[in-house]
Chain A
Amino acid sequence: MKSVRIHALSHLGSTAAMPTSIISLYHFVTDVNRNEITLVKNMKKTKFWKSVLALLGIIVLILVASYVIYTFNGVKI
């Protein structure tokens, strides 16, 4: 599907030389998102989900500490 779209757009040649309205119309009709037709990015391996887990872990720890302090503070003698 992706390759067909690239092929379709490449038939138009250089879009920079075309009137803006035609390109917009073309995009509107074919629903071509510019990001879809770009090359697959060689993104760096990140530790996004691991980091999210670490952050959640710290938030949970803070909440537990807060609950412990609140409870200890509220104990009636």
Chain B
Amino acid sequence: MSVKNKWYLTICIFITVALLAFAGLSFPVLRRFASAVVDLAMSIAYYGCNLFVSFNGGENPITPSVIQSPLESAPIVFPESYDVFLLKLQGFGAAFLSKDNFFGWLVHLGTNLYVFAFVLCIGLPIMLALWLLFKLLLSGYNTKHDVKTKPLVAWLRFEKGVLLPIKKFLRGLIEYVAERRFWRRLWFLIMLVALNVFTIGIEILAYLFYLVSSFDFLSLYTQVYKLLSDLYLMYHQLPFLLWVVIGCFFVVWLRKRIGYRRLNHFEHCNTVFARSLGVCTMITGNMGKGKTKLMTSLNLTLSTMFKADSKDILMQIERWFPNFPWASLQDVLKRLIERHVIYSLTTAELFVKKKRERFERRGDSSQLYGYDYTHYGLFYNNELQNLYLFDVLTDYCDAFFIYYLTKSMILGNYAIREDGVMQDAGNLPVWDYDFFKRSPLYESDFSYYANILDFDILRKGKKIVQGSKLADTFEFGIVTITELDKERGNSLDTKELKKNVEETNQKNDLFNYSPKMGRHPATVMFKYFVRFLVDQQRAMKTDADFREICDKIVNIEDVKERRLAMPLFFVEEILYGIIAPRYEAMYENYRFRRGDNSLLMYIMRNTLGRFVNWYDRIYNIFGYDLLTLISESGKLDGSNVSKDKWHLSYKKDLAHRYATDCYKQFFRDKSAQKDIGLPDYKTFADVNASAEELLQMNSYFIRDMVDKICGDKE
């Protein structure tokens, strides 16, 4: 054991002894604990005797103690007796509206709020001193670039020599405890006893035993009274400030939990919309509206949907033939996929076809991996058709191939990053598509990217590369094309092109056959595993044939930006609203005036600056945009108009998923060949341009105007 670990062990023992001492010295809590144990024992005895008496007759000799009030009554609001409670309730209305009572409450409030006055008394001079320090800090000018002031040098020495080792030690201790469940469980158990939680749990159990035997609901008030007394005891075990800290931790934990649940719910809502899409969908909208962002988001949702659908098929078939050795078949399929023997739906179906032939012609029963078909049968009647095992096996192998494929199913003309993780313990693998809890620190460990879309695989007529190896290989997947209008054009753009020519063009490549007939090779058990998603600015910029294949043309009508899925964030919102603009103004002012680094600015950067960064990170995890989508039929005749919502979660859709400037490199390569940039462009000399300046524009308009004027003169 290392020296450090010995220290950590000593501290853990010390903490345990301290907690035990704390629990052992809490006499009222221990007395209540003992009383609760007695209550439970008596209730169990009462329950047992009641069972005996029910069968044999007579009276229950046990008197349960759980319905009696605790020996030590706590000074809580509720009276011990139900009758007194009712009497108090009768007098409550008059007292509530009484002036004397109200003023009495104000005095009481003032006494309790004294602590805040105390905080203000200390806080105000500190705030004033800080304000003066800032005024001094920002009063002068210097250009001592990155020179540290003397107080900062002293502080850094202190930080490096004292604070950082302490921080490192504490972090090590936390890691040590995190790795050892024993300590955490032990401390948790001790605290449960010390904070009276055990007592409450035992009392509830004791009352349940009593209630199921007696049905005595009138005793419920006593239980509420006892519960409140126990909570009072719990509250007095720790100082108020510690409860505030525990409360803050609880709120942080709770709101994160709710936030993640809401994000997952939004993703389910997205899936409902994605399911409503047909084979081909077009997304339109003005530049910068977020078309490609939405299309990328749809791609990710569809990818998970395909995996879920293929698993549903597997599960359904396994329900139909529950005694078939599915695990053995899966093992074989896994091996064949990994060896590239099965690499498509066609090869998966060929595999089953061969098995069927061997079984039917030669009677080779080993093809069914020991399945006792004489006992369990080869058919399943689902009341629609009598399904033959080998037909079902074909669908099973297809679905398993789609499910087991550890590669992106997206074929795009731009790159999309995916991060689904398949977990395989040797049986049925499961996919983890958790979009919201992945850390970018491990991005490279589980990222994979979309397939490069070779348009020839979609061309059913002439192809750009004659004899292309990839042609006719496309079966299933999500084809995603950004700026389709620039690829295909409309009838005006292609009017000069001829169909009956040697070279491949938009009129003779039969591109539209792919989306039109795409369902056929991609259907497994009535579910089609193919989608075409395209985006462009205006629907009319693509030829009518393609447009009308699209069952929906989705237009982004409205975007409600920067919403937060995590609730109870208002305190931080207020702090950010106060801190962020002031910090940024102060930082800019400081950077303008001073080049050196001062202690105060160092502290500000590492406190307020970090708070602003943390706020942004919270939005990056739990933030989302709510898109309103208006969809209509591809015929653009105003039919089938629908309005839908799409939740664009930042953590899912903006986590390095795609590059909005994905074609940047083309322009960069061109610019790299030049030695001129924006600083070298000529500027106007005045607001009225001279004739020479106008001619420098090389504009059609200016050229026409000059020609016209000169022509007129001539």
Q: Which one of B570, B577, B592 contacts A54 once the chains associate, using CB atoms below 8 Å? A: B570
Chain A residues, Cβ within 8 Å of B174: none
Chain A residues, Cβ within 8 Å of B576: 46, 48
CB of B550 to closest CB in A, whole Å: 34
B574 touches A52 (CB 8 A): yes
A74 touches B562 (CB 8 A): no
Q: Which one of B84, B96, B104, B580 contacts A77 once the chains associate, using CB atoms below 8 Å? A: B84
**B616, closest chain A residue (CB):** A44
**A73, closest chain B residue (CB):** B77
Interface presence of A6 (CB below 8 A): no
Interface presence of A11 (CB below 8 A): no
B91 touches A45 (CB 8 A): no
**Complex Cα distance A52/B573, Å?**
9
* Contact A34-B571, Cβ < 8 Å, known A43-B581, A71-B92: no
B571 touches A51 (CB 8 A): yes
B 566-598 binary contact with A (CB < 8 Å = 1; else 0): 000111011011001100110011001100000
List residues of A (43-77) whose CB comes within 8 Å of B's CBs.
43-48, 50-52, 54-55, 63, 66-77
B141 touches A75 (CB 8 A): no
B141 touches A23 (CB 8 A): yes
Most buried by A among B84, B562, B574: B574
B95 touches A47 (CB 8 A): no
With an 8 Å Cβ cutoff, the count of chain B residues facing the other chain is 35
A51 touches B570 (CB 8 A): yes
B91 touches A34 (CB 8 A): no
List residues of B (63-105) whose CB comes within 8 Å of A's CBs.
77, 84, 87-88, 91-92, 95-96, 101-102, 104-105
Interface presence of A20 (CB below 8 A): yes
Chain A residues, Cβ within 8 Å of B88: 72, 75, 77
CB of B611 to closest CB in A, whole Å: 14
Chain A residues, Cβ within 8 Å of B574: 48, 51-52, 55
* Contact A74-B101, Cβ < 8 Å, known A50-B570, A51-B573: yes
Interface presence of A38 (CB below 8 A): yes
B592 touches A34 (CB 8 A): yes
Interface presence of B140 (CB below 8 A): yes
Interface presence of B693 (CB below 8 A): no
**Complex Cα distance A34/B592, Å?**
9
Report whether over half of chain B's contact residues are helix, strand or loop; otherwise say mixed. helix
Q: Which one of A45, A63, A71 contacts B101 once the chains associate, using CB atoms below 8 Å? A: A71
B571 touches A45 (CB 8 A): no
**Complex Cα distance A23/B141, Å?**
9
**Complex Cα distance A47/B593, Å?**
32
Q: Which one of B577, B580, B585, B588 contacts A51 once the chains associate, using CB atoms below 8 Å? A: B577
* Contact A45-B561, Cβ < 8 Å, known A16-B143, A34-B589, A35-B589: yes
**Complex Cα distance A51/B574, Å?**
6
CB of A31 to closest CB in B, whole Å: 16
List residues of B (414-466) whose CB comes within 8 Å of A's CBs.
none
**Complex Cα distance A59/B562, Å?**
26
CB of A32 to closest CB in B, whole Å: 12
B95 touches A71 (CB 8 A): yes
A46 touches B105 (CB 8 A): no
With an 8 Å Cβ cutoff, the count of chain A residues facing the other chain is 31
CB of A75 to closest CB in B, whole Å: 4
**Complex Cα distance A75/B589, Å?**
60
B92 touches A75 (CB 8 A): yes
Most buried by A among B87, B91, B143, B561: B91
CB of A30 to closest CB in B, whole Å: 16
Q: Which one of A20, A68, A74 contacts B141 once the chains associate, using CB atoms below 8 Å? A: A20
**B142, closest chain A residue (CB):** A20
Chain A residues, Cβ within 8 Å of B581: 41, 43
**Complex Cα distance A67/B105, Å?**
7
B105 touches A71 (CB 8 A): yes
Interface presence of B108 (CB below 8 A): yes
**A24, closest chain B residue (CB):** B141
Chain B residues, Cβ within 8 Å of A72: 77, 88, 92, 95
Interface presence of B109 (CB below 8 A): yes
**A43, closest chain B residue (CB):** B581
A66 touches B573 (CB 8 A): no
* Contact A66-B91, Cβ < 8 Å, known A45-B562, A52-B574, A55-B570: no
B108 touches A70 (CB 8 A): yes
Chain B residues, Cβ within 8 Å of A69: 77
**A58, closest chain B residue (CB):** B570
List residues of B (536-580) whose CB comes within 8 Å of A's CBs.
561-562, 564, 569-571, 573-574, 576-577, 580
Chain B residues, Cβ within 8 Å of A35: 585, 588-589
CB of B584 to closest CB in A, whole Å: 7
A 8-45 binary contact with B (CB < 8 Å = 1; else 0): 00000000100010010000000000110010010111
**Complex Cα distance A44/B141, Å?**
30
CB of B101 to closest CB in A, whole Å: 6
**Complex Cα distance A38/B561, Å?**
26
Chain A residues, Cβ within 8 Å of B141: 16, 20, 23
**Complex Cα distance A74/B96, Å?**
10
CB of B258 to closest CB in A, whole Å: 15
B108 touches A44 (CB 8 A): no
**B562, closest chain A residue (CB):** A45
* Contact A66-B109, Cβ < 8 Å, known A46-B577, A75-B95: yes
Chain B residues, Cβ within 8 Å of A76: 91
**Complex Cα distance A55/B573, Å?**
10
**Complex Cα distance A74/B101, Å?**
8
**Complex Cα distance A39/B562, Å?**
23
B108 touches A75 (CB 8 A): no
Chain B residues, Cβ within 8 Å of A46: 573, 576-577, 580
* Contact A71-B573, Cβ < 8 Å, known A44-B562, A45-B562, A76-B91: no
Most buried by A among B109, B141, B564: B141
**Complex Cα distance A67/B140, Å?**
53
Chain A residues, Cβ within 8 Å of B104: 70, 74
A55 touches B92 (CB 8 A): no
Chain B residues, Cβ within 8 Å of A77: 84, 87-88, 91
**A66, closest chain B residue (CB):** B109
Chain B residues, Cβ within 8 Å of A67: 96, 102, 105
List residues of B (513-544) whose CB comes within 8 Å of A's CBs.
none
A70 touches B84 (CB 8 A): no
CB of B371 to closest CB in A, whole Å: 61
Chosen A-B contacts, 5 in total, with CB atoms closer than 8 Å, are A41-B584, A46-B576, A50-B573, A74-B104, A77-B88
Chain B residues in the interface with A (C-beta under 8 A): 77, 84, 87-88, 91-92, 95-96, 101-102, 104-105, 108-109, 140-141, 143, 561-562, 564, 569-571, 573-574, 576-577, 580-581, 584-585, 588-589, 592-593
Query: 10 closest A-B pairs (Cβ-Cβ)?
Result: A48-B577, A51-B570, A51-B573, A54-B570, A75-B91, A20-B141, A75-B88, A70-B105, A51-B574, A77-B87
| Known A67-B96, A67-B102, A71-B92; 18 more pairs at CB < 8 Å | A16-B141, A20-B140, A34-B589, A43-B580, A44-B562, A47-B570, A50-B573, A51-B571, A52-B574, A55-B571, A63-B109, A67-B105, A70-B104, A72-B77, A74-B95, A75-B92, A77-B87, A77-B91
